[in-house]
Structure 1
């Protein structure tokens, strides 16, 4: 996702696609007058969060995660625990609630398989398998999540997307095509008319990487903080979204990412500190609140507009140098929805529903983050 590389060949190739005829569906914002909220629902969460427990009133689109491409153009349904019974129930309940459901294709480390599936000799089979999956299971469309995507993938990806869009249009009236993206904004700017949503994964924006300092998973702003010895600013949602807008993508076709998880940084007790000896691990919002949250640990970073928990010198957690947890809560999610409105974006994605689900709480209080998003985004009832 982070690799930029050269874009010249991909850019020249994609320019040629502009002349190809294509009829794309209107964006969700054009169709409803409201923000879209596309929430990911991984197959491995089906037992923790059964589909019957999902509050469909809080989302406009459910994205079932995920089927993986194989290098021969076929699909792997087993990696993320998707099975026919679960798919059937989820599709049925989503449609009964009057919502759309998409099948996600890909995920982390799927690029190699994508490259094989998009190759000239296998592309037709890949496209055919995807359209068949939509029609067989009753999905309303597809969400593409090729990670990490590099500049060298641009030409093949552009042909694949064009052929897939045409096949979807022919195979199912009104079928949707969306993408979860991290890099390659210039490529997607040229392809934007073929997508109903282009959602920027504005999370996982930091890590214990060489040349960094400790930072937030999904800071809204960067507070003017720069990398050590550099004029380059640390990442934030605003910088990332402006990058994609600057590439020429229409705001109404663009969405930002909302994280229902965070990271624990062991070896530092807050942001903007040295990463020497620091290690990180992902932790869900549900586990943060169940096992780590206390009011005395809570901090609010005004410059970044996100919270964190400081576990510095906590006797219950003896980590040298302390530790802290960066995450999103109700306050920061409201601010991000407000930002999406201010920037006139089309909507937002949620990664992912199960990480915010707290089954130990009383009924009606088990999905606080989702209810915050529902209220802030004014999702129609």
Structure 2
């Protein structure tokens, strides 16, 4: 498998499986910043195989705080204006190769924060300004819909009223999208407390065409002990609310609280999170680790490696790495000296697809 193909999976935040009108959907997020990665890590729109995913989501657009309008976060890369590279239209142009492909623009993401989305959604006028900018923006660049990636209502500087205001925003977006046949989806939290505070699940489910569940980032280098990025089940060492930091709990929490099974997309991250161990002899789950793993050559961020970077590390030192398939994580972690990384591979992703097939009865 080439580095380019591997990176397709790296830049997809979700590769999910659900059933809509008898067909299984695979929804993939494309992180547009991958175009700036060096060497084999560089990944542009034309590197996407338009037949791998049924839905492609371009991440991300932003929100202008002063007038509540949508805008291109990287106009040089995303627009043709001012001699730009036109990634938006090249992305939606993939439908010329695969006419069945659905292309969606995501707005928000972690770096955009929550505060300005909270302010926009707090008034009818703010929501109207936003929606009046979104519809022509999507149509201008050929997108089939919007993915609302507000992370998260009521959180990170938001207010309690966000829960109701998020519903108002989705309802008004849905009404405005209907005449144009546009799709409305959202990326939503997998954390129990955030879910309960942020979302009126039955109404959110009714209003959205797809619910993209972010079942990853449960553990990472913001903690000082090792833990898997996306564990399938609770680990015996889990304590307190950490017992709910796993894919199985998050999926069932959404379902038992009123999410339509046909709309749930189970998120699968094609990257790992890792640490530098304090003691190389203590190398299992919950091992003390006060520092993140060193940055990889492509993602260039301490504490995280793309799956392609994991594979390259293994190939460079096959005898040095020990891979463990934890019976509770149902996903591998590996260590080599002080390096510790928890990630997903083909075997663990297959298990997660089996989980959602059973849970959603598809």
With over 3 angstroms needed to count, the CA separation of the structure-2 counterparts of 1:196 and 1:215, relative to structure 1, is same
Deviation at 1:223, TM superposition (A): 3.9
Provide the secondary structure at the position in 2 that maps to 1:64.
strand
Once the 2 structures are TM-superposed, how far is the Cα of residue 193 of structure 1 from its aligned partner?
1.2
Contact persistence 1:261–1:285 (CA under 8 A) = yes
Residue 267 (1) aligns with residue 277 (2): yes
Cα distance in 2, alignment partners of residues 291 and 205 from structure 1: 23
Moved more, 34-43 or 111-120: 111-120
Alignment of 1:1-381 (within 5 A): 29-31=19-21, 33-46=22-35, 48-71=42-65, 72-79=67-74, 81-84=77-80, 85-97=86-98, 98-110=100-112, 111-120=114-123, 121-150=125-154, 151-170=160-179, 172-173=180-181, 175-182=182-189, 183-184=194-195, 186-208=199-221, 213-227=225-239, 230=240, 233=243, 235-267=245-277, 270-275=283-288, 277-279=290-292, 281-292=303-314, 294-296=317-319, 297=321, 298-312=323-337, 322-344=338-360
Cα distance in 2 between the residues matched to 1:133 and 1:142: 10
Q: Partner of 2:300 in structure 1?
A: none
- The answer to whether the 8 A contact 1:46-1:86 is kept is no
Aligned to 1:318: none
Instruction: Note the C-alpha offset of 1:255.
Output: 1.4
The separation in 2 between residues aligned to 1:259 and 1:45, in whole angstroms, is 15
| TM-score normalised by length of structure 2 | 0.77
Structure-2 separation of matches of 1:232 and 1:134? 39
Q: CA deviation at 1:275?
A: 3.7
- Aligned residue for 2:238, secondary structure, equals coil
Contact 2:277-2:287 within 8 A present in 1 as well? no
CA contact (8 A) 1:221 1:236 kept: yes
Distance in 2 separating the partners of 1:95 and 1:275: 51
Assess if the C-alpha contact under 8 Å between 1:28 and 1:196 holds in 2: no
The 3 A distance-change label for structure 1 pair 231 and 259 is closer
Note the C-alpha offset of 1:243: 1.2
What is the CA distance between 1:284 and its match in structure 2?
1.0
Using a 3 Å threshold, how does the CA distance of structure 1 residues 277 and 28 change in structure 2: closer, same or farther? closer
Give structure 1 stretches of 5+ with no counterpart: 1-26, 313-321, 347-381
RMSD, aligned α-carbons: 2.4
Contact 1:177–1:196 (CA under 8 A) maintained in structure 2: yes
Q: Secondary structure at the match of 2:105?
A: strand
Scaled by the length of structure 1, what TM-score is found? 0.74
Deviation at 1:263, TM superposition (A): 1.1
Query: In 2, Cα distance between the equivalents of 1:167 and 1:128?
Result: 9
Q: Which has the higher contact order (CA 8 A, sep 6+)?
A: 1
Residue pair 1:213, 1:273 contacting (<8 A) in 2 also: yes
Flag structure 2 segments of 5+ consecutive residues without an equivalent.
Answer: 1-16, 37-41, 81-85, 155-159, 294-302
